[in-house]
Chain A
């Protein structure tokens, strides 16, 4: 078993080490982009197997701005970082929050969205108070690998925190009555409240962002060596925020500000 462990460490070492091979500071003419394709309305695959969503349109606009050729790769969330590190693509655009913990492994570009965070509950909940004291002993659900989970686990220690693989399951459990509250990005919750959750649930309020936990917002991830690529994309994002090209894509997908 020790031999296997050593072999595995070596294999991972090779995988991580060989990334140096990709690290030449070349001029970027072509960028391969990894995305999950399962997070509407930011990025999702439709029934015709085409990618659509805010992030897809926005990144394509940035590619035009940078005058580079972009190709998209749809990659499951579990393998999204290993595939970046192994050089299967060069940048991840998948609603990824730039937390400090993650910055140790990958580099992030400038932030391009900062979504409002909402709390929803059953219609029968009368109080608009969702402070940790008010929610003591209540069951709160959210998606597991998100910043909302980190936030709830830090501040809502006296509540039962349930972590779901995707937002859909958390919403189902709110409908079922297994959960008292659900916390998530406002846009995905609005989508739920306007459709399936119309009869059962309502918004209780918005959570103020805590930079220490929520981080600065959503950014694109690149390998640590690819500083030139990171700077090139960051510059394009900053320009797009100033010259209105960001807004042009935003109004197509969202009714409220996301930055």
Chain B
């Protein structure tokens, strides 16, 4: 018996024992996909948000179109078009030496997830930065801060307070929608659970998956609460958490 069959064995749950290893490797796929796409997406999102606030008019328009398009269409369709649609131009990708990328389900899923979450995160950053009073920026400029210093020392610490919880939402949403990766033969936690259910018809398998999802969300919530306490440590808001910590 391997370690991933052990929980099912201890609980005396035959289906969980049979599919324990699939579910464990599904969890790993979920974590890999989400960690990579969220990090890459975050960097892209910051650029998009800054362009939307400060860039030239044409770039602003282009970025607005980007966020509307990728938030507005189903991720399922986006992934389908990238993997099966772009994948059907194999000779072209081979001629530009990119077939290794489009051949692999994982890279295609990562690409789709990254551009999708970047669109959502960009909207969060844009809103958070735009919510800052203009006086803050004027004061920082008067103090002679460079643009980068302004961003790092004045804008971001305050914008993050507003952005943090929506970013947490986006992270959790990405964890959930990673189930869509099973469209391209990549079985995440939900994909593995659904497969176990489709073969065994045992509904209780969903409860064990739910327990894992709840544990993930609880971890994220606690980490974000710590970050939030750190970010709001100087500000006199009437946030009971900030005071408690």
Q: Mark B152-195, 1 if CB is under 8 A from A, else 0.
A: 00000000000000000000000000000011110100000011
Q: B29 CB to closest chain A CB, in angstroms?
A: 13
B194 — which chain A residues lie within 8 A by C-beta?
78
Q: A1 to B198, alpha carbons, bound, how many Å?
A: 26
A8 contacts the other chain (CB 8 A)? yes
Within 8 Å of chain A (Cβ to Cβ): is B87?
yes
Contact B207 A5 (CB under 8 A): yes
Query: Cβ of B195 and Cβ of A145 under 8 Å apart?
Result: yes
Tell whether B218 is near chain A: CB-to-CB under 8 Å: yes
Asked whether, in the complex, the Cβ of B88 is within 8 Å of the Cβ of A172, the reply is yes
Which residue of A77, A81, A101, A178 has the most chain B CB atoms within 10 A of its CB atom? A178
| Inter-chain residue pair count (beta carbon < 8 A) | 71
A77 and B198 in contact, given A5-B211, A8-B207 (Cβ under 8 angstroms): yes
B129-168 contact mask (Cβ, 8 Å, vs A): 1 or 0: 0000000000000000000000000000000000000000
Does B199 make an interface contact (CB < 8 A)? yes
CB <8 Å contact, A1 and B214: yes
Q: Is B84 touching A172 in the complex (CB atoms < 8 A)?
A: yes
- Set of chain B residues within 8 Å of A241, measured between Cβ atoms: none
Q: Are B201 and A106 in contact (CB under 8 A)?
A: yes
Q: How far is the CB of B106 from chain A (nearest CB, A)?
A: 12
**Complexed CA–CA distance, A178 and B94 (Å):** 13
- In the assembled complex, the Cα of A42 lies from the Cα of B201 at a distance in Å of 22
Tell whether, in the assembled complex, residue A163 and residue B187 are in contact, meaning their CB atoms are under 8 Å apart.
yes
Tell me whether A176 and B90 are in contact in the complex, defined as CB-CB below 8 angstroms, given that A12-B204, A164-B185 are known contacts. Answer: yes
Most buried by A among B183, B185, B197: B185
Extra A-B contacts (19), CB below 8 Å, given A82-B203, A101-B201, A102-B200: A1-B218, A5-B210, A8-B207, A9-B207, A15-B203, A81-B201, A104-B202, A105-B200, A105-B201, A144-B195, A144-B198, A145-B199, A162-B105, A163-B187, A164-B185, A165-B182, A165-B183, A169-B184, A178-B87
Q: Which residues of B contact A (CB under 8 A)?
A: 84, 87-88, 90, 103, 105, 182-185, 187, 194-195, 197-204, 207, 210-211, 214-215, 218
